[in-house]
Amino acid sequence: MKALEFENIHRAYRRGADVLKGITFSVDAGEVVGLVGKNGAGKTTLIRIAMGMLEAQTGHVRVLGLDPRTDALDMKRRVGYVSEDQILPEFLTVGAVVRLHRALFPTWDDQLERRLRERFELAPRARIKTLSKGQARQVALLCAIAHRPEVLLLDEPAGGLDPAARREFLETSIQLLNEAGSTILFSSHYMTDVERMAGRIVMIHEGCLLLDGALDDLREQYSLALLPRGPVGWHDRLIGLSGCISVREQSDSLHAVFRLEPQQCRSLLQRELHISDARCLSITLDDMFVELVEGRP
């Protein structure tokens, strides 16, 4: 069974302004998927649909085989969720928020809760409103994982945190992966965090799926070619080459992404366009993101 299934998901907040335009992908149990895209690409909407906080207007979503709208309780007991703009009740203490969650989840692990509380140095009597942003996120993370969820949905979980808090967050997530092998779908703008955590990347842009693949394949089977701008029409000729997935003009050069290893890319350019001074490099996730999102086929 798939841990997560999105099939042809459409969602608009008002008529004519589509946020998601037919997203389809699924996630196997135990996979860690990094969801990347610009602000406004639709990442948050997609995660909220999986959580049952929003409804897809068309399409079909399943979490652990359950419908997040009609099987909400069963589903939520097996899922953990943290988001950047999650709001915890300000006037409650840390202890009270944790107790509330403990009561909701039959699989709550007291030992794990204690371990996380000690690790995060959270004082049970501290009121939520007195916590720093990082500490509040740690409370949210504790509440999201102490019941050992089978699926973890993280919406920009490290957003707004300092590097030390981000690292702490990653360490905790990796510990959970080590112990439980949970399935994780997380959105992030920090590509280095994505590289550390994810085995697979799903990139969305303007509500459409732009790229879906194993991270290592993206790093090893794609390349970035840097060329002088050349005569008019090169842009189209590059796009016409098999394996070329995007071209972007950048001051006086052209950047093209190919689904080819750098060596193959170099010989293709030489053979087809007689370009011998192209620089063909393996591509980092950061570059891939900018090239695909800013450059268009």
Partner 1 sequence: MQFHVNPSGELPIYRQIMRQITDAIAGGRVAAGDQLPSHRDLAAQLVIAPLTVKKAYDELEREGLITTQRGRGTYVSESLPVVDAAQRRERLREAAQQLLTQAALSGVPLAEVVRLLKEIQKGMKS
In angstroms, the CA 95 to CA 63 distance is 30
CB of 47 to partner 1, least distance (A): 20
Instruction: List residues near partner 1 by CB under 8 A.
Output: 32, 167, 170-171, 174-175, 177-178, 191-193, 195-199, 215-216, 219-220, 282, 284-286
Tell the smallest beta-carbon distance from residue 293 to partner 1 (Å): 18
Residue for token pair 């999650």: 86
Closer residue to partner 1 in complex, CB, 175/264: 175
CB of 250 to partner 1, least distance (A): 20
Q: Identify which of residues 170 and 290 has a Cβ nearer to partner 1 in the complex.
A: 170
Count helices and strands in the chain by DSSP H and E runs: 11, 13
Instruction: Give the residue with the Cβ less far from partner 1, 23 or 197.
Output: 197
CA–CA distance, 73 with 78 (Å, rounded to integer): 9
Q: Which of 138, 116, 151 is nearest to 5 (CA)?
A: 151
Q: How far is the CB of 198 from partner 1 (least distance, A)?
A: 7
3-state helix, strand, coil in the chain (%, to 5): 40, 30, 30
Residues in the chain: 297
- What single-letter amino acid sits at 218? L
CA contacts within 13 A on the Cβ side of 168: 18
CB of 193 to partner 1, least distance (A): 8
User: 140: closest CA among 76, 53, 82?
Assistant: 82
By C-beta, is 102 or 196 nearer to partner 1? 196
Distance set, CA 245 to CA 39, 146, 165, 217, 240 (Å): 22, 42, 37, 15, 9
Helix 94-104 and helix 133-145: axis angle, to 10°?
Answer: 20
In the complex with partner 1, the residue whose CB is nearer, 48 or 200, is 200
Rg (CA), the chain: 22
Contact 37, 61 (CB under 8 A): no
Closest separation in Å from C-beta 277 to partner 1: 17
Q: Shortest gap between Cβ of 226 and partner 1 (angstroms)?
A: 15
Shortest spacing between CB 192 and partner 1, in angstroms:
4
CB 133 within 8 A of CB 160: yes
| Complex with partner 1: residue 160 or 199, whichever CB lies closer | 199
CB atoms within 10 A of CB 87: 9
Nearer of residues 10 and 196 to partner 1, judged by Cβ: 196
Q: Which is nearer to partner 1, 32 or 61 (CB)?
A: 32
CA distance 249 to 141: 42
